[in-house]
Structure 1
Amino acid sequence: MAELKTFGRYKETEDEICADIKDVEASLESLSDERLFKMVVMLPIVFPSVMMPVRLPELYYKMKNKLYPDYLYYAMVALGRAATLFSVKVSRIYQLDLSKIKNKMYSEEELEFRRRVFWAFYSSDRGTTSFNGSFPIVQDLDIVVNLPINDFWWRYGGECEVEHPEIIFWNHIANSENNEQYSKGDTKNFVKTTTLLGKVSVFAKQRWIKKVYNPDDDNCQLVRLIDKLNKFEETVVKNPPIDFNLIKETYPKYKDTIRFTVDMEHILYKRTFTEYHFYMKSVLYQTEMVRVEGIHMHPGRIVSAKNICVDIANKQIDLICKLSEFLPLEYWENSTIATGLMSAVTCLNYISVSPKNDSLDISSKMKNLKEVYRKLSDYHEISAILLMYLDRLSKFIKETHKENKKYKQLYKNMKKYSIDDSDVHPWIVSKYGLLFLIQCCFEGSFTNTKLTDYLYIKNLNDLYVDEHQETSSSDFDDKKSTRNSNIFPDQIEELPGIVSPSRNKSHKSLYKTNYDQYIKYGKLLEETDPNAVDNYYYQYMVDFLSEKVVQDIINNPVNNRTNFET
């Protein structure tokens, strides 16, 4: 690295860095072979992103001989420490595969090592962006680094100087010609996951703080991210799903062996992809529930977002609790523990809702989730922090609900935003998609939860406005043009998979195109599960196109027919 910062000053020379490393090597604790081997096989499971550059035979050999493994020179970068951010930029490691850099002096093996170091740093950086709201250190457009390849060979293959029989056995397999059958592309998919996480986080943070709000641009970005999440789910999350039976069989049989690491590393990567998918989906749809005065969000979108978030919370908490039954908590990866927080907040909102014939039993799920977090707190501090955070949120929600009871006459105004008659309180939602952006103020991080603020009632005398006048005004708001009401943009050619008719076509041709599209999306809507992401998209395309068809008929009554000449 170009520079390292230690105790508030910059290390400027390689000699100084090497001297520090020698000091560290001298202070390394001697470990028994059994304890060292257990640590080596456990680290890739518990810290997958940080261990991305690690080669297991090298790690074991150098730790046994009290030497500093090469990848630890970059550990501060991999952990995303602020002290090395300047080094990342100066070294231009994010442009490693530019030909003029690539052809300098590195062998292919050295290049792969540096790629993995960079992607470990990148994953940490995007995780930080997601959870505390900082902006990315390196922008995606500036990155010229190939994705990691052949994970199995990288982890267990290459030169082996150790005499441990199990390490030698797996090293031989990894160095054989058929080693690629063991590689699942997990680190490559992990990079794709964190890339998408960064995009969703930046969108959520910026969506409602723009100086100039453009509904067309906003909706296009939203639909593109929905489309990307859909594809991510199909290609990475579901292909194949998590194999819980393999966890159940592998742990008691192969615990503390490399075979256990080989099997479990892939399974837990799958779990990581699934958890992050739930988290990203929750973040994205919770931004739909944010109300900003002066920007009209159609109530139907808020209702749909609530239903989707409840469905996500139900599935994610079930996954967390099920995994806790099969895998000891000491093997849980730290960063994915926090991904369940969004679903936990959804549960806190939903607990106050009491739908008839509700089979979800969210209260029990929330209780089970907290119990898992309590057990996890013995291994990870973040779990204890999450519990305190959820308790504080729960108290805050109860206080706002108590305050809202003073304005019960406003409950009827909440009906159009509700998923049930008992859903009469505004849901607590992060304004910026980031639940840990609370350094300056707790309440300021969330949307309005007070009824009068949520409904934009400035003067309490407005509560006594004539009922008919109030209803008429509400109907007028709901019937605003699509462009102004923020349903979906007129420029539908910008949406994924949608082609807009040419503006030069005749009214008859336009009507035929709009009508055909309306029928198409109507059929897709009928065939799709109500809680699916696609259903959300199809519903609003149907609403959008139906208005177009009606407008075409108003403009040219001859269009009021369904038989067209070709």
Structure 2
Amino acid sequence: MNYYSVSISDTDLFNDVRHGLPIPSNKKLEEMCLVLPHILPGLMIPARLPEFIANLTGKVYPYYLMFAILSAGIKSIKTTRTNDDKLLETMYAKKSLELLNEEKDLSDPLIIWTCTFIFTYSFGISDTKSYDEAMTRVKKEYNDDKMEFKRRIWWSFYIMCTGDYIFKGNSVTFDQRDIVVNLPKNDFIWRYGGNIEGCKNAEIIDMNLIANDPSEEDFPPDYFSFLINTYSLYKSITIFATKRWRKNGLDHEKKGSDLEPHLERLEEYRNKMDELYENNLPPISDKYENYRGTLKLLVDTEQYILSYISRIFYYSMQICLYDSDLVRDHNNIVRPEKVKIAKSMCINASVNMMVLLEWYIINVPTPYQEFTVIFWTMNGAITLANMFFAKDINEKAKYTSYYNRMLSTYREFSKHSEFIVSLTKFINYIIQIKISASEQNKKLPHLYRYMEPYGVSEYDLEPWIVPKYGSFFHIGCCVEGSFSTLSIEEYLGMELTVKKVSGKKSLSNAHKDVHSSPNLESSLAKGNISAYIDSMNKTMLSLTSTNCIKKVMLLNFECSINDLFENKTTCFDFSLMTKKDNLQISQESIDKITENKKKRNSYLSNIENENESSKSKFFNQ
């Protein structure tokens, strides 16, 4: 198919054709070059902007690289993304692969850079075949020749491969100990310096003079080495979480103790992050309005975008670590206080993620939005979904609202990536698994009391759905076997070595209750628990066409986290996010919780008495 005949009519965008495909005008290519560092910062680490723009507009780059760049970046300069637009992106990627397969010398670093662009393109579609084809071209060993460009190409490739491992659980491409490539340095000088012969852009010329001035020392700090270390740390955490509960993984004695070193490294990471990016994210939407299409926009906003990305990663890593503390393993004694801490940290991290996503959507217009970071927020969305099953109408409503706010940002990002649509469907699938398990747990209401010590609140009475092996995509023998148990019966029945839970009733009695549970198939059991189940179902969970959670009954509930903001503007104040993220509870709230708990215990006692009475009447008939 010759796409030229279809799209060249858009003369404002295209003015040339190569290999049967339309090529944007030099003006549009330059516009794309200035947008790419916003939306693909990791991928653009190797780019020296003056040379990058000159080589792209002058058709100096090999066409396999040009088409790969267009496959990932052309949507940033188009006002629509129709099926024809998606087809054009695919044709760019396929043509790039065709030309790549003709190359004989794989030592050229541009080949690896090409593959990283195709990798990024594949995240915008449902079919990742193009990425798999590209990766087969770079299996040959690549030697660093101490050139900065090659190092930066290599680190972009590292980011792509490491991100793929963290998210999908694929095999590790290379061991961290084998990496001897120096980190990139002098980012500002690299990006804006060098030879700009033939460049006519006044902004680029001015920046080039500054970057090439040997007397100039007041340059911005290096950001990309920190971004690379972010991926390295997350990879280390993921490897730990993946191996922690495998039978052939870590030694039993190390399963618990090994968490502490990773938490310490994560705390060091946060300290460095706060030092590098300062402790705030101010409103920057006016910069996009005033400097759109200019180099000044990149200079003024880059530190805030990279700060946003780093903080998303921080909270995602935090959830990954604490999720591993929530896995129920029969060889490990679970301490209720440890479970509570882990749940609290996961919830706080998820809410902070949601606020970050909202800040980004509000401040950064669609053409400049980086969408791949959304993948690292999935564990936050599922954490919030765990609180849908709280046995309190207000608590359930609060976290349902948080989840819907996060999902609304997903819908914004889905304009850039079909894969994000698939991601929301997968989260929906996880929620459906939790709903099914919850329905089974409701048939054993007398066991809820034994789950209280493990709850983040008195209403959090069910096991959370968490991945056993670091990520929900790190599948073990089967999908169900990749989650920690969701059954209260199994959760309590495992813990036979612990004598007491928080000083309450002996767990040996809880174990007896498990084994004397009513027959789930009998009409008697259904009759006994029907009243209790009806009382628990104050709200019901169902999914809208957009995969949001909706509540059947209307609630008069105000949901706000304005304490994370200086005021009701778009400014996000990180100083209010203390490192311990402790929740401050007023005395009035404590008194109210105590009163509600007394009422709830009285209610449960009445329900049990009614159940015993029903049993007695039945057997005396």
Tell me if TM exceeds 0.5.
yes
Instruction: Give the one of 147, 153, 159 matched to 1:123.
Output: 159
Mapped partners of 2:577, 2:412: distance in 1: 36
Q: How much has 1:58 moved relative to structure 2? A: 1.5
* Aligned pair partner of 1:451 in 488, 503, 508: 488
Task: Note the C-alpha offset of 1:164.
Answer: 2.4
Amino acid at match of 1:142: D
Contact 2:348 2:581 in 1 (8 A): no
Aligned equivalent of 2:350, options 296, 302, 313: 313
Corresponding residue SS for 1:416:
helix
Aligned twin of 1:374: 411
Aligned-residue Cα RMSD (Å) equals 3.2
- Residue 57 of structure 1 pairs with residue 50 of structure 2: yes
Cα distance in 1 for residues equivalent to 2:273 and 2:202: 35
Distance 1:387 1:318, change over 3 A: same
Shift of 1:224: 0.8
Specify which of 19, 33, 39 is matched with residue 40 of structure 1: 33
Q: Which amino acid aligns with 1:51?
A: M
Q: Deviations over 1:207-259 (max 9, x none)?
A: 10042753443344311110000000011245434654352331111111111
| Most deviating of 156-165 and 74-83 | 74-83
Amino acid at match of 1:112: E
Aligned in 2, Cα 1:406/1:359: closer, same or farther, shift over 3 Å? closer
The farther-off stretch of 230-239 and 341-350 is 230-239
Given that residues 476 and 482 in structure 2 are in contact (C-alpha distance below 8 angstroms), is that contact kept between their aligned partners in structure 1? no
**Which of 232, 236, 240 is residue 203 of structure 1 equivalent to?**
240
Give yes or no for the alignment of 1:189 onto 2:226. yes
Are the counterparts in 1 of residues 277 and 304 from structure 2 also a CA contact under 8 Å? no
Q: Shift of residue 442 of structure 1?
A: 3.5
SS class of match (1:267): helix
User: 2: distance between equivalents of 1:88 and 1:34?
Assistant: 33
Provide closer, same or farther for how the CA distance between residues 71 and 266 of structure 1 changes in structure 2, counting only shifts above 3 A: farther
Deviation of 1:350 (Å): 1.4
Displacement of 1:273 after TM fit?
A: 0.7
Structure 1: gaps spanning 5 or more residues: 1-23, 103-110, 460-466, 475-528, 536-566
Q: Secondary structure at the match of 2:23?
A: coil
The residue number in structure 2 matching 1:91 is: 141
The answer to whether residue 402 in structure 2 is matched with residue 409 in structure 1 is no
Q: How far 1:426 moved relative to its partner?
A: 0.9
2:116 counterpart of 1:78: yes
Alpha-carbon offset, residue 87 of structure 1: 7.0
Q: Confirm whether residue 428 of structure 1 aligns to residue 465 of structure 2.
A: yes
Q: Secondary structure of 1:406's match?
A: coil
Q: 1:82 to 1:328 in 2, by over 3 A?
A: same
Which residue of structure 1 aligns with residue 193 of structure 2? 157
Which residue of 280, 284, 290 corresponds with 2:317?
280
Superposition deviation, residue 450 in structure 1:
1.8
**More displaced 10-residue stretch of structure 1: 416-425 or 35-44:** 416-425
Indicate how the Cα distance of structure 1 residues 219 and 469 shifts in structure 2: closer, same or farther if over 3 A, else same. Answer: closer
Deviation at 1:48, TM superposition (A): 1.1
- TM-score where L is the length of structure 2: 0.65
**1:251 aligned onto 2:288:** yes
Contact 1:330/1:379 (<8 A) preserved = no
Deviation at 1:304, TM superposition (A): 1.0
- Of 165, 172, 180, which aligns to 1:144? 180
Q: 1:67 aligns with which of 60, 65, 77?
A: 60
Deviations 1:11-55 (A, max 9, x none): xxxxxxxxxxxxx97566432233122101001111111111111
CA distance in 2, matches of 1:92, 1:432: 31
Counterparts of 1:72 and 1:230, CA distance in 2: 37
Alignment of 1:491-502 (within 5 A): none
Worse-superposed segment, 58-67 or 268-277 = 58-67
Q: Is the CA contact (8 Å cut-off) linking 1:314 and 1:362 kept in structure 2?
A: no
Residue number in structure 1 paired with 2:150 = 114
5 Å-filtered alignment, 1:193-342, equals 193-211=230-248, 214-237=251-274, 239-241=276-278, 243-245=280-282, 247-342=284-379
- Report how far residue 294 of structure 1 moved: 2.2
User: How much identity, in percent, do the aligned residues show?
Assistant: 28
CA distance in 2, matches of 1:56, 1:369: 34
How far off is 1:290 after superposition?
Answer: 0.2
CA distance in 2, matches of 1:367, 1:246: 23
Provide structure 2 residue ranges, at least 5 long, that are not aligned to the other structure. 1-16, 63-107, 120-130, 497-503, 512-575, 583-621
Counterparts in 2 of 1:297 and 1:174: CA distance versus 1, 3 Å: same
Separation in structure 1 between the aligned mates of residue 190 and residue 362 of structure 2, nearest angstrom? 31
Q: CA deviation at 1:446?
A: 1.2
* Alpha carbons 1:31, 1:64 under 8 Å: kept: no
* Secondary structure at the counterpart of residue 428 of structure 2: helix
Determine if contact 2:450/2:510 at 8 Å carries over to the other structure. no
What is the CA distance between 1:456 and its match in structure 2?
A: 3.1
Contact 1:242 1:267 in 2 (8 A): no
Size of the aligned set, in residue pairs, is 438
